Amino acid sequence: MKNKKNYRQYTIRFLKRSILFLAFSEFFLIVFYFFSNSQDFLDSGLLLILNVLISVCVLLTLFTLASIIIKIFYIIKRKKTEGILLFIVDILLLFFSIIFAIFFSFLIVIAKGN
């Protein structure tokens, strides 16, 4: 029984660290995109940055959705309310990552001229 508990803790820890890594990656890629846009990078380089940003946004959406499902389970089933703040942060991250993915895909469509 103890092994099963450790497995759940590793899963939750993996999700938390993955979400943190992807959120910081998204932030730094957005900053990198805007600085590279102001320094007149080539269009192909900017499109590559946008494609990577969309990929990171989609991954962040998936990981955050998995984390939200697990936190809902813990809030309802185990009646643990200590993670409410992190639950709200996950919902905000999910919302912003979806909005950013849509916005950056819109930028790619505009940049290609189609």
The token duo for 71 is 């936190």
User: Which has the minimum average pLDDT: 16-30, 47-61, 80-94?
Assistant: 80-94
User: 92 lies in which domain range?
Assistant: 50-114
66 part of a folded domain: yes
- In-domain check, residue 72: yes
pLDDT confidence tier of residue 57, bands split at 50, 70 and 90: very high
Residue 27 lies in a domain: no
Q: Determine, yes or no, domain membership for 93.
A: yes
- pLDDT (tens digit per residue) in 69-113: 988 888 888 777 777 888 899 999 999 999 999 999 998 888 877
Residue 3 lies in a domain: no
**59 or 73: which leads in pLDDT:** 59
22 in a structural domain? no
- Predicted structure pTM score: 0.84
Q: Kindly state whether residue 28 falls inside one of the protein's structural domains.
A: no
CA 106, CA 111: separation in Å to the nearest integer?
9
18 part of a folded domain:
no
Q: How far, in Å, are 57, 82, 104 from residue 72 at the CA level?
A: 22, 12, 30
Domain count, the chain: 1
d(CA 110, CA 66): 32
